[in-house]
Structures are given as structure tokens and as C-alpha cells.
Amino acid sequence: MAFVAADWTILRTAGANPNEIDYVGDAHAGASPSYATTIELHRALQDFADDQTDGTEELSIVDQVPSQRGGVDTNITLLNGYHITPTAAEHVYDGSISQTHPVNGGQIYDGIQNFGTANSIQIIQDGARLTNDFWNEAKMIAATADATSNTSHRFMILVRDTGTDIDGRRLIGTQRVYSTVYNEFAIGGGTNRGNNVLALNATSNLNNPTAQGTIAALTFVIAEGYIGIDGDGNGADEFYYVEWDMNGNSKNEAYEYSQNMVREGVSVTPVNGTFGLDPNIFRGITHSVALSGGAGTWVEPESLSWGTGATAGTGQLLAVDNTAGASSTILYMQLLTGVVPAANTITGNGGATATAGTVTTQIVSTPPIGASTGTNIKGAYGVGIQEADLAAGDTLIDLTGAANNAPNNVQFDVIGLNITGTADYVLVGPDSAGSLNTAQMTLAVTLSGATETQVNVGTGNIPVDTPATGTIRVERDSGEFTRHAYTAIDGTHTFFTIASTDFSTDNATLTTNDVFISYIDKVATATTESFNTVFNATRALRVIVRNGGVTGPNPIVPIDVAGSLGSGGGATTISRVLDT
């Protein structure tokens, strides 16, 4: 688009700002706003400067030179006090302008060019989102876009003011339009003269089809801080900086909720899961920092600061391995401004301090929760999900960077039980050739004491798909199989931990006496009784239901049927026949 002289003024005397170059045409949303490239502005100024006398622009041959080209068309310097106003800067694109403002001193407006398909871009500068996103105005996009080079936006940003670079001229561009695939692009080393590149695209997000208002109405419980979760079901916690509780919602709805949390246009008020930060700038962990020599108490979350001058920076603490400063060894943060700490003293706004050691850059996910397959979550770095909500196909990346594949948690149901009058007794155990397999395991240590607390069946002999807690039956020397609730299984799958039990009057002898898992072993308290475990391989089960009572819809003909626990769980619906 060409320079439109009628839309510009150049005033030799403009109050406190002489030699001011201003745009006075229609605003961006007006009937016919105009836009000029940096080289077009320079050529127009030179054209005015060779006139014999002033025109409306108050610039002629007798005045000082207003501008010069810096070797390329995209690098223009305004000279001798000539300067553009902020409004004028919004109507210039395709390059950079350096100038000395009579009040604000040295200023630089650097050019930004987005190679991509984004239809709306947000800019984070100096730890905050620039709210005046004039570059997203439809008429400016129409005037400055270039389909030939796949350019969606061209505009300028003030990156130096009062003779000082604004946050080292660092910028982050984000594309967070709800229902699109979010992405970001950083100009992390500082802008250069001319055009600086962003690469932001807006493509349809097939995993974010739900209306924004519908997703906003959902409720998730999101815990912040250093949290232990057994994401892979191996009995040992890994650690994460956030934990999502689905609260009855689906995994894909959680993904959509994460999209909604940080979408373009969201309120600047921090919400649960953005760690006290404006959701428009929340990105998750950008760096982990090793610590030593700590003191005080860290507060999750809190602002951090370090260094001076060229070594200065700020961040937001998202998690720390120990809130007691003297015991903390690593923290996890989002960098907000400046450079990362390097052997600096980091100070939290709660008063804790520590010396920074190795700093590791982490990959940032957009949105913060990670990716969705439509059914499962492939979590971003450090993002945890409540253990009870995990399912086969979910993957969590813990704070060490290790991938933890969720176990296949499955459930087996016995449906159709009676709880009226005399309730049914239901026993579900292992099946062998159509019968209850009471010899599933054999005792490895004799039980003969008055206070036995372990049932040992030998290393590795407890099946890996055994529920973490439940009941077992132990064969006594009398031949009776007694029921015992267990509260834990040791790490080598050798023994069950039970409540202190007297085996002194009826021993259970090693190698001759058997043990089996009674997956369900109780008087029914609900019409459907269930057990949960981690699927390993298809397991044949025996379902036994009996009721010889005289009240209610009983007695019944004893039920002894096969069941099967597969990768999707399993169920047996019993058919009750009265014993009349």
C-alpha cells in the first residue's frame, strides 16, 4: 500500500515535540485507513525535504534531513529530531525505524513479519501481553498481508524506549484462538533491525470441537505445586508440578478446558492452574534450576528475581522439590523477563533464597496440559493426572523428563445381586478348568505364630495383576480356607501384609498349603459388586454366588459360573433361580 500524503502531518513545531510525524487518517476500523512501508515513509520524507517551500507538512529544502536509509529498504533512521508518534507507528510496516524522541530519548520500532496462516496474534513483551493488538485489525491485515510469501501480518513494535531496550528486545508471539491448534514463536535473542520473523499458524483443532461456553461451564480440580503421582502404576511416585482431577469429565474435555484457560480473549485474572499468572501469558515450566545454599521458605507459586543489569531476570516459581530453602535442590519456573539465572542468587518474594546452578530449558506445550488423542492425554512436561483417572494410552512426563505410560486400570463387575432381606454372598476367585482354583499360590513360609502379619508365597509368585489391596484365602492345616484382608504387597511380589492374626491353634504349613486371591469375597452391599486392578493378560475367573436364607427373594440355586477379565475389564450378570 502506498504512502497517502493527506493522512500524514509533519510539524516543525508541535508543542513539546517539534518535528513530529503523525498519522491523521482514518483509524484502523474507519472507512479507509492507510498504511505505508518504512521505505515508502522514507521516500515521502525525502520528497518533502527537496521542496522549495513548506507545504502542509512543514518540511522543505531549508530544513535538516529528516531520515536516512540504513543500507536496506527495511532499516530507516529518522534524523535531527524527526520522529513518528505511536499512532503513526501503527500505520507503518515492513521494516524498522530508529529515532530520537525529544522527550522519550532513543527509540526503536522493529518490524515483525509472520510467515504463516494465523488470523490473530498476541505478543508477550516484558512479562505481559500487549493489549493494543492493532496488527489484528482486519483492514491492516488486508493491507499488509502477502499471500505470495505466505505472510499473514506485518507491523512494528516499540522495542527500545528512553534509550533502553525493553527486556532486551525479546518478544514471544502466540496464536491461541479457541478451536485452533495453539502455537508460539519466540524472538528470544532480541529483535534486529528490519523484519523479525514469527511462524504462527491457525489450523482447525479436531480435538477442540466443543463450544467455548460449554467447556467453560465444566469443573476440574487442578492442584498446583510439587506433587507425587504413581503415573505408571509401579508402586512408586514420580513428581509433577500440577495434578489434574477429571472430576467426572473426559480426558478430551480436560484438553479443551486447558485450551479455554489460556485462549485469546480470556480474562487477565489468574485462575486455578495458571499459578498466579495472567492466563494470557501462562506457558508452564520453561526452565528447571538446580539449587544450593538455600534459606528461608519457598511459596508455590511466587515471583522470583535474580541478577542485575545484563544478568537480571524474573520468573514465576511453579514448583520446588522442598519448600524448605535449606533442603531444596531444584526448582521449576516460567521465565518472565530477562535472562536465566547463572550462578545468581535467586530470591522469592516470600524471602527464600538459593544459589542457581545448572539451568535446563524445557519444552513448552501449547496448551499447557499437553496433547490429546481424542481419548487419551499425552501430557506436557511435568503435567500430572490423578491416578484414579489414568487409563491405558495416557502418558505422563514427570519432572525428570521420563515418560510414564499409565497402566490399564480395569474393573470387573458382578451384576444382579440381591441385598434385600438376606443378602447374597459373592466370591470371585481364579478359575482353573471350570473350577475355583484354590491352589493359585503355595505358602513359602509356615504360619504358626499368634501374631502373624505376612503371608509369604515366594518371590515373584504373586500375580502382577493382583489388586493393590483386597482379600486372600489361606489354607489351614485343618483344611479350612480362611479369609484375610491384605493392605499391601511387597515390591518383589513375595508376600501379602495382613492384620495381626493368630495361626497358633490351626497352622498353615509351607509347601503343602495353598493361597488364592479372592477378588470379591463378601456379603453383597450393592446389587453390583466390583473389583479394580491393572490389566496384564486375560484372566479366567470363577464367580460363585450363594444365598440359603429364608427372607427376601431367596433361597436360590447356587450359582457357579465362569467370568473373564480382559483389557476392557469384564462383567458377569447372574441369573437368579429360586430354590423352591
| pLDDT per residue as tens digits for the range 252-279 | 999 999 999 999 999 999 999 999 999 9
Quote the CA–CA distance of 153 and 140 in Å, as a whole number.
8
Rounded to an integer, the average pLDDT of 35-49 is: 96
pLDDT of residue 284: 98
Does 549 or 331 have the greater pLDDT score? 331
Rounded to an integer, the average pLDDT of 330-353 is: 96
Q: What are the DSSP calls for 241-252, one per residue?
A: EEEEE-TT--HH
pLDDT of residue 196: 98
Give the whole-number percent of the chain exceeding pLDDT 70. Answer: 99
> How crowded is residue 138: how many other Cβ atoms within 10 Å of its Cβ?
10
pLDDT of residue 14: 67
Q: Work out the pLDDT band at 30, boundaries 50, 70, 90.
A: very high
Helices and strands of the chain, counted as H and E runs: 5, 43
* Secondary structure of residue 140 in the 3-state scheme: helix
Q: What are the DSSP calls for 341-405, one per residue?
A: -SSPEEEETTS-EEEEEEEEE-PPPSSTTEEE-SSSEEEEETEEE-GGG--TT-EEE-TTS-EEE
Query: Is the model's pLDDT at 53 over the cut of 90?
Result: no
pTM score of the predicted model: 0.82
Say if strands 92-93 and 96-101 run parallel, antiparallel, or are unpaired.
unpaired
The string of pLDDT tens digits covering residues 375-392 is 999 999 999 999 989 988
Nearest Cα residue to 264 out of 285, 278, 249: 278
Give residue for cell 535531527. 80
Strand arrangement, sheet containing 481-489 = 441-442, 514-518, 470-475, 481-489, 495-501, 452-456
Q: Work out the pLDDT band at 72, boundaries 50, 70, 90.
A: very high
Query: Is residue 429 within 8 Å of 518, Cβ to Cβ?
Result: yes
Q: What does each C-alpha distance from 342 to 170, 260, 323, 348 come to in angstroms?
A: 18, 35, 21, 16
The string of pLDDT tens digits covering residues 531-547 is 999 898 999 999 999 99
The mean pLDDT value of the chain amounts to 96
Query: Is the model's pLDDT at 374 over the cut of 80?
Result: yes
234: which residues sit within 8 A by CB, 6+ positions away? none
> How crowded is residue 186: how many other Cβ atoms within 10 Å of its Cβ?
15
The string of pLDDT tens digits covering residues 392-434 is 899 999 999 999 999 888 999 999 999 988 999 999 999 999 9
Q: Work out the pLDDT band at 367, boundaries 50, 70, 90.
A: very high
The string of pLDDT tens digits covering residues 168-216 is 999 999 999 999 999 999 999 999 999 999 999 999 999 999 999 999 9
Phi, psi of 147 (to 5 degrees): -65, -30
* Secondary structure of residue 472 in the 3-state scheme: strand
Quote the CA–CA distance of 268 and 280 in Å, as a whole number.
6
Cell triple for residue 390?
489414568
Cell triple for residue 568?
476392557
Phi, psi of 38 (to 5 degrees): -60, -40
Nearest Cα residue to 184 out of 371, 364, 372, 381: 364
Q: What does each C-alpha distance from 174 to 115, 264, 337, 540 come to in angstroms?
A: 13, 9, 16, 53
Going by the DSSP 8-state scheme, the letter that residue 131 receives in this structure is S
Give residue for cell 458377569. 572
Where in the chain are the domains?
1-171+188-194, 212-279+366-405, 287-361, 411-573
pLDDT of residue 558: 95
**What is the widest separation between alpha-carbon atoms in the chain?**
122
Q: Work out the pLDDT band at 233, boundaries 50, 70, 90.
A: confident
* Secondary structure of residue 326 in the 3-state scheme: helix
CA angle 174, 177, 180 (to 5 degrees): 105
Query: Is residue 287 within 8 Å of 238, Cβ to Cβ?
Result: no
Query: Is the model's pLDDT at 550 over the cut of 80?
Result: no
